């Protein structure tokens, strides 16, 4: 995996779990700081490394975290929820989601060809074709 992919992955999965188990509303410095970090790292990843489908779940979790933090900025909760049932139920969904988000880029890494060497930058591919002849057929 590439640098910004790993950084974005750890940031988004960590922030997702922080939102699930959050007891109190985060401070504005944390909300704006993490949101700014998401935008900066996300843009660096997209511009320097390019997007890829294997990171789709990481992108979804990053977008969810940004929307949730934006909701925290606009809405001040009137009370803190003390129950544990909601975080446990959300964790049952978030655990396989997080595992899949981490495993997809590891299972399907970035594929690159080796650069051609020599004075002429030409690559070659070798194919082996096998013709299966059916014996005994009327022709």
What is the distance between the alpha carbons of residues 15 and 21, in angstroms, rounded to a whole number? 10
pLDDT in tens, 83-114: 678 888 888 888 999 999 999 988 988 777 77
Sequence ranges of the domains in the chain: 3-107
Structure tokens belonging to residue 78? 């009137």
**Helix crossing, 56-74 with 28-44: angle to 10°?**
150
What is the pTM (predicted TM-score) of this model? 0.68
Q: Range with the lowest mean pLDDT among 7-16, 64-73, 130-139?
A: 130-139
> Where would I find the H helices in 45-138?
56-74, 85-107
pLDDT in tens, 38-66: 889 989 999 998 888 899 999 999 888 88
């Amino acid at each position: 995996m590439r640098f910004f992919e790993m950084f974005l992955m750890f940031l988004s999965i960590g922030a997702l779990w922080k939102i699930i188990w959050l007891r109190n509303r985060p401070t504005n410095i944390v909300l704006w700081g993490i949101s700014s970090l998401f935008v900066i790292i996300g843009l660096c990843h997209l511009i320097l490394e390019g997007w890829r489908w294997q990171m789709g779940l990481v992108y979804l979790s990053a977008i969810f975290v940004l929307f949730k933090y934006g909701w925290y900025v606009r809405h001040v909760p009137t009370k803190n929820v003390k129950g544990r049932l909601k975080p446990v139920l959300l964790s049952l969904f978030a655990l396989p989601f997080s595992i899949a988000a981490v495993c997809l880029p590891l299972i399907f890494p970035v594929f690159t060809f080796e650069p051609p060497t020599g004075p002429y930058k030409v690559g070659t591919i070798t194919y082996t074709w096998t013709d299966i002849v059916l014996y005994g057929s009327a022709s």
